[in-house]
Each structure stands twice: as C-alpha cells, then as structure tokens.
C-alpha cells in the first residue's frame, strides 16, 4: 500500500529561517539593483521665480565630478535648482544644457566624489526582460518599482512637438516625480531615462533609451545644446497624388509640402520654392515632417545635400547645404 509523505513547511527544529534563502531570484535582482543604484539617483528640486517651489523630479549621476542627467521638462523655466542625494545631502545645481526636442537636460553640482550610475547598452534589450525604475514619485524619495520591457523602438512626441525615436516601453509603474530617473536592468545598468506615462492607462510607461541619452548628454556637456541642421522651410505632411506616384514609381504615399521658405536660408539659396513636394534627402525617402527632422541631424551640418523634389510634373534634385539650427526665440 502506498503511503503519503508529509513534507513540513516550517524550518527544521534547531535551525533559524534565513531571509536571503526565502528571497527568490526576482526579489534578489530587484533588491540588489535598489541597493546599488540608489546612491546614484537624486531628487531634483525646482523653484520658479515668483511662484516659489515648482515641484520636483528625479535625476541620475553621470560622473564623479557632478554632472547629472534628467528630463528637460523637469528643469524647464527653473530659476533655482537643487539636487538632494540618498544620504540627505542637498547641493545647488545649475543647468549645463537643455534639449526639449529629446526631453533631456544635464545639470551640474559642485562635487567630486559622486557615484556615477553604470550605463548599459539599450541595443541589447529584449522584450520581456526585467526593468526596474528608481525615482521620487509624488515626493516619495527613492521609490522602487519593477516590471518588464514591454516594447522597443516606440516613438513619442516631446513637448516641443518633435518626435522622439527609440523609446523603451515598460510596465514598471511611473508617476509624476519619476521623470528623469533611471530605468535599469537586472544587473543595475541604466537602460533608459524615465520620461512619461499614459494618463488613465495601466502599466504603459516610457523611457528614453540610454544610448540616445548618452549621445544627447555628450553634446549638452560640450555645447550646451544639441546641434541639429536646419534648411529654413515651413512644411506640412500631404498625400501624394496617385498619378504622380505611378508616373515616377514612388514608394511613399506621402511627402512633405514646402509651405514657405525663409529669406536667405539654405533652402532659398538651394532653389527650394513654396509648393515643392520634398520626396527625399540624400537618397533616403522622406514621407513626413518627422522624417525630415530625422534626416537633418548634426552630421549634415555644412554638407551639400541632394534633395529630391517634385515640382509640377517634373522631378529634380536640388543641392542644399544645411546650417546649424536657428536659436529659439
């Protein structure tokens, strides 16, 4: 006859329970990242002239020498900034560079002994892998949430109106105040900078991929801004007439209509006119204003660039030499 065997759930007599043994791999990963990365996460306190305290966000330490990375919308319009560290130390901060188009900013504090956050490689991310967010949501300092990488390569529109690419989607819970804080992998490497959540949705949050953030931060430290090229046109998205597409065997169904050209701009000097349909830049098809922005990177500065244009019933290639983006008024 078979006899059942009862396995006791309690620890054997004479032994004491060990919390470390009770923690599973998931808990160990999350708690380990929280312990190692919290020293590199700061609370960004913001004041606005005439309004006093304007709220707070999060940031992360980039270098021993005091450079911190955060979101542009966290520091926008600030008259005074301070960074509060995990040990309670608070230091005055100043903006080194700000880029609303990527929603990233670099601020600096007077310090030389900070613990920088280790950066990962967002190109190696996989959907479903563990994602851990650390920040200061709604003023609750050093809060940790965990989830997974929900999707890669998302696009999100910045408050400036420009489209941000290579956005990481996660279901790690984010709230106001998490902005600018790190999204990390299970090894504690930062894989993104938390930037937004969808209001009213459950578990749909976004972070700027760390590879993008690293490139932007490098330019902000070097130049105080991100260098982008500019040709001087006003434009809008339009559908291409079917007859035009068939006649010239165009793949795109849409193009960019030149609504205006600014005086003495690269576009005007290159021969672009109001009413032209912009189809390509340097041989790459352009189907929207977002495509146009993407093509006009800093690498095009001062480089004569061929632009494919449909004008009336003719196709032509014009040569335009982009210059640096105009300063914002």
* Whole-angstrom distance, CA of residue 191 vs CA of residue 197: 17
* Catalytic annotation, pick one of 99, 101, 103, 291: 103
CB atoms under 10 Å from CB of 231, counted, come to 26
Q: What token pair was written down for 93?
A: 């901060």
**Alpha-carbon torsion angle 161, 166, 172, 174, nearest 10:** -20
65 catalytic residue (yes or no): no
Cβ pair 186, 29 in contact under 8 A: yes
4 catalytic residue (yes or no): no
293 catalytic residue (yes or no): no
* Catalytic annotation, pick one of 58, 72, 73, 276: 73
Phi, psi of 138 (to 5 degrees): 55, 30
Phi, psi of 48 (to 5 degrees): -115, 135
Long-range contacts, 319-323 (Cβ 8 Å, 24+): 319/270, 320/231, 320/266, 320/267, 320/269, 320/270, 320/272, 321/266, 321/269, 321/270, 322/229, 322/230, 322/231, 322/266, 322/296, 323/229, 323/230, 323/231, 323/266
Tokens 């490689």 appear where? Answer: 121
* Catalytic annotation, pick one of 56, 58, 72, 179: 179
* Whole-angstrom distance, CA of residue 27 vs CA of residue 144: 12
**Active site (catalytic) residues:** 73, 103, 179
């Amino acid at each position: 006859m078979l006899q059942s065997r009862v396995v006791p759930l309690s620890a054997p007599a004479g032994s004491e329970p060990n919390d470390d043994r009770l923690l599973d791999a998931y808990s160990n990963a999350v708690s380990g990242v929280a312990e190692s990365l919290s020293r590199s996460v700061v609370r960004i306190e913001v004041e606005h002239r005439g309004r006093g305290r304007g709220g707070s966000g999060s940031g992360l330490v980039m270098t021993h020498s005091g450079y911190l990375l955060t979101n542009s919308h966290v520091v926008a319009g600030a008259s005074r900034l301070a960074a509060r560290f995990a040990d309670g130390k608070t230091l005055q901060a100043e903006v080194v560079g700000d880029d609303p188009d990527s929603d990233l900013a670099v601020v600096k504090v007077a310090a030389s002994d900070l613990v920088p956050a280790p950066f990962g490689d967002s190109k190696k991310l996989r959907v479903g892998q563990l994602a851990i967010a650390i920040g200061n949501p709604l003023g609750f300092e050093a809060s940790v949430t965990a989830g997974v990488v929900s999707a890669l390569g998302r696009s999100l529109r910045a408050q400036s109106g420009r489209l941000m690419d290579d956005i990481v989607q996660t279901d790690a819970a984010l709230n106001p105040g998490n902005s600018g804080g790190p999204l990390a992998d299970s090894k504690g490497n930062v894989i993104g900078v938390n930037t937004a959540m969808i209001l009213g949705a459950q578990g749909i949050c976004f972070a700027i991929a760390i590879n993008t953030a690293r490139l932007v931060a490098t330019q902000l430290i070097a130049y105080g801004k991100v260098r982008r090229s500019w040709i001087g046109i006003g434009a809008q998205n339009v559908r291409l007439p079917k007859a035009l597409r068939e006649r010239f065997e165009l793949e795109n169904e849409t193009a960019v209509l030149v609504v205006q050209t600014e005086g003495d701009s690269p576009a005007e000097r290159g021969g672009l006119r109001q009413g032209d349909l912009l189809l390509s830049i340097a041989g790459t098809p352009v189907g929207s204003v977002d495509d146009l922005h993407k093509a006009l990177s800093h690498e095009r500065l001062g480089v004569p660039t061929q632009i494919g244009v449909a004008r009336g019933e003719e196709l032509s290639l014009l040569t335009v030499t982009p210059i640096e983006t105009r300063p914002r008024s």
